Structure formats: C-alpha cells, structure tokens
Amino acid sequence: MWPVSNKEVIINPRDFQYACELGELTPGKPSTFEVDDRFVVLVQLDGQVYCIEDLCTHDGGTLGDGELEGHCLVCPRHGAKFDVRNGHVTCMPATENTPSHEVKLDGSRIMIRLND
Ligand code: FES
C-alpha cells in the first residue's frame, strides 16, 4: 500500500494506470490519451494493443496524428517511423527510440505502465 496524504493516494509511476476502454480504440488507427500528465498513443493491431509515447524524438512531433504502415507509426512532420511494438525508431530523421509502455487488459479497461 502506498502512502496516503490528505486523503489523496500517491500513485507509484510504476503501477498500471487506466488509459481508456478497449471500445474507444479503432483497430489500425492510433489514438492519443493523457495518462498521468503524459500523452501516449494506443494502437490496436493484429489483436494486440500497443502503447508508445506520443513523442517523436526527432523534433517533438506528436505521433498520434500519424498514419500506420504495418507495425510502424509515421511521424506526420518529417516522416520518421517508430515500431509501435517497442518504440524503436526504424526510419530517419529520428535516431532515438521513443518510450514504449506495458499494456494489460482488465476486462474491457486498458491499463498501461509508464516507462521513462
Ligand atoms: S518531428 Fe517527427 S520526423 Fe521530425
């Protein structure tokens, strides 16, 4: 149990946190959500749900506005590509991976654990 202060539960950033309902996702289409003051992109693809940071490491573009090419999300600004399964960059001009986050389903609730 985590400390309670002024009746407010302090959330350990390593805990799974609610992101959205599974029904809010459209398969093959990225969706952006705010979780714990961070923006993340959720993608339902091939029966799995993946989550990466909504951040292009090239110049801070928002990946949630991008299109999917296979398992890669294409940054709409300059075309860098990131694998939604692990956040790995697969195409310039970005050269650094973006964080990927662990996903689990709790019934129809999508829960994510934020990574750095
Ligand atoms: S900001 Fe994403 S490719 Fe430049």
**98, two tokens:** 């973006």
User: What's the pLDDT at 5?
Assistant: 46
Asked if CATH classification 2.40.110.10 holds for the domain at 28-113, the reply, yes or no, is no
Contacts of 2 (CB under 8 A, 6+ apart): 9, 10, 11, 12
Residues in a beta bridge with 32: 41
Q: Please report the atom of ligand 1 found closest to the CA of residue 94.
A: 3
pTM, to two decimals: 0.88
Residue of 75, 90, 92 best suited for mutating to test ligand 1, as the one with most atoms within 8 Å of CB = 75
Ligand 1 atom closest to the CA of 63, numbered from 1: 2
Distances (CA, A) of 76 to 4, 41, 56, 70, 73: 42, 14, 10, 16, 9
Each domain of the chain, given as residue ranges in start order, spans 28-113
Q: Return the bridge partners of 34, or none.
A: 39
pLDDT, tens digit, 9 for 90 and up, residues 49-102 = 999 999 999 999 999 999 999 999 999 999 999 999 999 999 999 999 999 999
